């Protein structure tokens, strides 16, 4: 006897369910992986934004350094309340949480062993997703192998804003801005150029009178002369007869 057709249909249905569940699992896994990658990329962007906040705070701390005071803080808490001033002065709102590790703990970049802080970095050793196309201020982060290699430091202009070495205050009498340079003295022209003076231009010739006007004036004078001359008197009869 042949097999029951109902059993055959049940077998095909079972295989179809297995294939369907497998496809659903693969799609779900891919979706989770894509979601995790998107979440990680967002966390890295947030890390860059937080690092920029730390860099700006370190630059503000260095720029506000009084004479004789260190230009970098000894701890991150000094950015929250600057101990160099009697009145509270804040350079950072709060100690941010690392979006990669989820903790408010940061690696510290120091000028020397045990010296002041010049930068911070994440404690995560994960490989970054972003390896290129950084902003100009983060151009040194390209092709780094670990997120901990992203070092957020104050720019060199802020570190040397008052002419002091890193971690040291300005010497007495020094100012944060250099004095203006003296204006350059005008250079004298060479002797040869001074001797060659331009020749003076000849004076313009006086305008000549119009020849037509002169001719008209001469004709007018001749007519007036003719009118003033009296006509000759007629000869008498004695003169005519020869006496």
- pLDDT tens digits, 69-96: 999 999 999 999 999 998 889 999 999 9
Lowest mean pLDDT among 61-75, 141-155, 174-188: 174-188
**pLDDT value at position 170?**
39
Average pLDDT estimate for 163-189: 44
pLDDT value at residue 164: 44
Q: Tokens standing for 228?
A: 């003033």
Instruction: Give the DSSP letter string of 109-163.
Output: EESSTT--EEEEE----PPPS--S---GGGGGGTT-SSGGG--EE--HHHHTTTS
Q: Which residue has the higher pLDDT, 39 or 228?
A: 39
Q: Is the pLDDT of residue 177 over 50?
A: no
Rg of the chain over CA atoms, in angstroms?
51
- Res 29 pLDDT > 80: no
- Reported as type and span, the H/E element at residue 46 is helix 5-63
**For the chain, domain boundaries:** 13-161
Flag whether pLDDT at 13 surpasses 60. Answer: yes
> How much is the pLDDT for 36?
83
Share of the chain above pLDDT 90, in %: 43
- Using the predicted structure, report yes or no on whether residue 206 has a pLDDT greater than 90: no
134/29: higher pLDDT = 134
| CA gap 230, 101 in Å, rounded | 135
- Give the neighbor-by-neighbor strand order of the sheet with 117-121: 107-110, 117-121, 152-153
Average pLDDT, the chain: 75
Stretch 158-182: mean pLDDT: 43
| Residue with the two structure tokens 């260095």 | 62
166 vs 48, which has greater pLDDT?
A: 48
């Amino acid at each position: 006897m042949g097999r029951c057709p109902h059993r055959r249909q049940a077998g095909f249905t079972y295989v179809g369910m297995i294939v369907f569940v497998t496809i659903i699992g693969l799609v779900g896994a891919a979706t989770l992986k894509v979601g995790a990658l998107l979440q990680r990329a967002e966390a890295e962007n947030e890390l860059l934004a937080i690092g920029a906040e730390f860099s700006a705070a370190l630059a503000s701390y260095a720029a506000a350094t009084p004479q004789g005071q260190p230009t970098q803080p000894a701890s991150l808490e000094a950015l929250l309340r600057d101990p160099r001033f009697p009145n509270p002065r804040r350079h950072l709102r709060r100690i941010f949480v690392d979006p990669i590790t989820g903790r408010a703990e940061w690696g510290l970049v120091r000028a020397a062993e045990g010296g002041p802080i010049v930068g911070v970095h994440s404690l995560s050793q994960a490989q970054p997703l972003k390896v290129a196309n950084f902003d100009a201020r983060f151009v040194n982060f390209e092709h780094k192998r670990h997120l901990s290699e992203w070092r957020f430091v104050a720019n060199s202009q802020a570190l040397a804003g008052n002419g002091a070495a890193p971690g040291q205050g300005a010497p007495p009498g020094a100012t944060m801005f250099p004095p203006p340079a003296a204006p350059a003295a005008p250079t004298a022209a060479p002797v040869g150029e001074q001797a060659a003076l331009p020749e003076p231009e000849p004076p313009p010739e006086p305008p000549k009178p119009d020849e037509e006007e002169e001719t008209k004036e001469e004709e007018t004078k001749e007519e007036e002369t003719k009118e003033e001359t009296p006509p000759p008197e007629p000869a008498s009869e004695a003169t005519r007869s020869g006496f």
